[in-house]
Amino acid sequence: MKKNSWIGRLIYVLAIVLAVGVTVCTTGCSDDDDDSPDASQTEGDGSAGEDAGSADDESEEDTSADDAEESQQSEASESSSASAGNRVILCIGDSITEGVGTTDPYPSKLARITGDKVVNAGVTSQRSDQGVSRIQSEINRSNPTHVCILFGTNDVRVNNTGSTASNIQSMVNTVRAAGAVAIVGTIPPLLERGGTLQPAVDSLNGQIRGISGASIADIARDFGSGSGTMNSDGIHPNNNGAAIIAANFSERL
């Protein structure tokens, strides 16, 4: 009986030890699981990474937009650096530019309208080919920011308009190569010889309107038939006509 009693107690103690061991194991395993990141936490970290990457992309886009805006502002500042009152305007042409037939040539009126320095480089009787020959020297002399070109009347009068448009285009190219802005005017009407030259004027003005790389001051449009704007010689604008020319060039500066 004593032997059986001892065995029973031994079994009881072993059962308690086993029970305690199971409890310890369960607690340890639970701790290990808590230390490792679960799937949802990993996905959360990935999402956070994507959000950070997206934020970086947005930041780069914002920076690019800011850079573009600053560049546009800089370009606008450069283009407006020669603002009204600070420009040098070269007016090149024939006797109409020089001021024959008026007491107040259009370049003088243009200077008052704009407040800019205006150089009158008109030479009586000159044709467009002669303008090509001297425009570079005129640019070198005055260093203009803008050049107003008005040629063609004498080309029509001597019946030599075959190369007039190309001559004017050549002058525009020279102006642009010098870093200045070119403005080309269509020519006023020609009333001499009974108006027989007007069809040639209209044809030439159509070609002038097609000049590239320049703003076109459509002077002929505002002159109309020339009534009240031309001198009695039918060639040169009067003071009213000179005012029309100045206003048209001013609008294109």
Give 88's strand partners: 117
Domain that holds residue 195: 88-252
Total domains, the chain: 1
In a domain, 243, yes or no: yes
Q: What is the pLDDT of residues 60-97, one digit of tens each?
A: 445 444 444 443 333 333 333 577 889 999 999 999 99
Q: Which residue has the higher pLDDT, 31 or 163?
A: 163
| Residue 116 belongs to domain with CATH number | 3.40.50.1110
Give domain status of residue 210, yes or no.
Answer: yes
Residue 29 lies in a domain: no
In this prediction, residue 233 has a pLDDT band, given cuts at 50, 70 and 90, of: very high
pLDDT at 41: 42
- Residue 235 lies inside a defined structural domain of this protein: yes
Q: What is the DSSP letter of 108?
A: H
In a domain, 7, yes or no: no
Environment class of 180 (CB within 10 Å of its CB; exposed 0-12, middle 13-18, buried 19+): buried
Whether residue 57 lies inside any domain: the answer is no
Note the pLDDT of residue 15.
57
Give a yes or no: residue 207 inside a domain. Answer: yes
* Percent of the chain topping pLDDT 70: 68
**pTM of the predicted structure, to 2 decimals:** 0.69
Task: Indicate if the pLDDT at residue 30 is higher than 50.
Answer: no
| pLDDT band per the 50, 70, 90 thresholds, residue 215 | very high
- Report the C-alpha gap between 220 and 92 in whole angstroms: 17
pLDDT at 187 over 60: yes
Does residue 83 form part of some domain?
no
